[in-house]
């Protein structure tokens, strides 16, 4: 059975005050696939991420989840949507006053009626998935950045979400740990049928795990398709991104001076 659309982004525009950061973004996130959203820093990936996780308000008919308009969700509907998703933030976003095990047990305690011992066991199991079961009683401040990120992933998986959103999973990680995380994301898709959405600018990681890649630049989607399609793209900006070429555009001195003087005023 061909994969179906789980989330459709149909003409998403986003603003911070009067500054537009996303321009008519359109693509689909398919069920049981790994979708990677790539682009240079400041292209709008994180803003898009915040829209998809419901942290930034979306306009009507801009994002559809299973055919329902995310922008028109009531508080209850938004809460129901969030119970279907897991989110790993770039820094891990662990609660500093709790141990790793306590961090993972937070959603289990709030959303389930499981006994304390069952929650404890499930928390250890989730930590085991990311290779941190021996650190269950450690506080986040006692761990390295990579370990905090893995613990954050364990917490994102606590409620066995249908969709996993991951923001810059490899940033700050050594190649071996990053490769381990990539393997884990693929395992989640293969064994649990999870839909995974990854925001990253790491090319190697993206092509390794993605079923679909969306390349963004300056708030716009430049290309969207399979890794093969992206690799063969003739769009100059996509090629520049894939070939890791620096910008070579010449600075217009007149506009540069005007910009400096306006700043000073």
Partner 1 sequence: MTRMVEAIGAFGLKKVSSAGRLGMFLLYTLRGIIYPPEKFWPVVKQIEFIGPKSFFVIGFTAAFTGMVLGLQGYYTLSQFGSESMLGSAVAISLVRELGPVLSALMVTGRAGSAITAEIGIMRIEEQIDALECMAIDPYSYIVTPKFLACLIAFPLLSAFCNVIGILGGYLIGVQQLGVSEGAFWDGVNSSVVWKDVYMGMVKSVCFSGLMIWICTYKGFYAGMDEGSFGPEQVSRATTDAVVLSSISILISDYVITSILL
Chain residues in the site for partner 1 (CB under 8 A): 53-55, 79-80, 82-83, 85-87, 89-91, 93-96, 106-107, 109-111, 152, 155, 159, 165
Task: Kindly provide the b/e burial profile for residues 76-92, where b requires at least 16 CB atoms within 10 angstroms of the residue's own CB.
Answer: eeeeebbeebbbbbbeb
| Beta carbons of 215 and 223 less than 8 angstroms apart | yes
CA dihedral of 189, 195, 200, 202, whole degrees rounded to 10: 20
The number of residues in the chain equals 265
**Residue (158 or 206) nearer to partner 1, CB:** 158
- Please give the structure tokens belonging to residue 33: 């696939």
| Secondary structure percentages of the chain, helix, strand, coil, to 5 | 45, 25, 35
Our CB check for partner 1 shows the closer of 159 and 223 to be 159
Could you tell me the smallest distance in angstroms from the CB atom of residue 161 to partner 1? 10
Separation CA 156–CA 175 (nearest Å):
22
- φ/ψ of 159, rounded to 5, equals -100, 20
Q: Are 6 and 64 in contact (CB under 8 A)?
A: no
Within 10 angstroms of residue 134's Cβ, the number of other Cβ atoms is: 10
Nearer Cβ to partner 1 (81/135): 81
93 vs 179, beta carbon nearer partner 1? 93
Choice between 46 and 233, CB closer to partner 1: 46
CB of 22 to partner 1, least distance (A): 19
Q: Minimum CB separation from partner 1 for residue 108, in Å? A: 10
Give least dist CB 49 to partner 1, A. 11
Neighbours of 32 (CB within 10 A): 17
Q: Is 11 left (phi over 0), alpha (psi -120 to 50) or beta?
A: left
Q: How far is the CB of 168 from partner 1 (least distance, A)?
A: 12
At its nearest, how many Å lie between partner 1 and the CB of residue 177? Answer: 21
CB of 53 to partner 1, least distance (A): 5
């Amino acid at each position: 059975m061909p994969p179906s659309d789980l989330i459709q982004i149909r003409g998403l525009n986003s603003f911070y005050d009067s500054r537009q950061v996303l321009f008519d973004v359109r693509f689909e996130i398919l069920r049981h696939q790994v979708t990677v959203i790539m682009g240079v820093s400041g292209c709008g990936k994180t803003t898009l991420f915040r829209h998809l996780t419901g942290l930034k308000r979306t306009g009507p008919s801009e994002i559809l989840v299973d055919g329902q308009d995310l922008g028109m969700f009531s508080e209850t509907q938004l809460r129901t949507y969030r119970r279907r998703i897991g989110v790993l933030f770039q820094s891990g976003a662990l609660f500093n006053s709790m141990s790793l095990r306590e961090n993972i047990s937070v959603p289990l305690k709030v959303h389930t009626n499981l006994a304390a011992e069952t929650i404890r066991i499930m928390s250890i199991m989730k930590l085991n998935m990311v290779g941190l079961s021996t650190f269950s009683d450690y506080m986040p401040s006692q761990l390295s950045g990579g370990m905090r990120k893995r613990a954050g992933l364990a917490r994102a998986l606590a409620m066995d979400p249908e969709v996993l959103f991951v923001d810059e999973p490899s940033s700050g990680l050594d190649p071996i740990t990053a490769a381990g995380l990539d393997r884990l994301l693929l395992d989640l898709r293969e064994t649990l049928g999870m839909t995974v959405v990854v925001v990253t600018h790491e090319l190697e990681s993206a092509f390794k795990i993605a079923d679909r890649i969306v390349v963004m630049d300056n708030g716009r989607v430049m290309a969207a398709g399979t890794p093969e399609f992206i690799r063969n793209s003739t769009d100059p900006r996509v090629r520049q991104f894939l070939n890791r070429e620096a910008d070579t555009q010449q600075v217009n001195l007149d506009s540069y001076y005007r910009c400096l003087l306006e700043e000073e005023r």
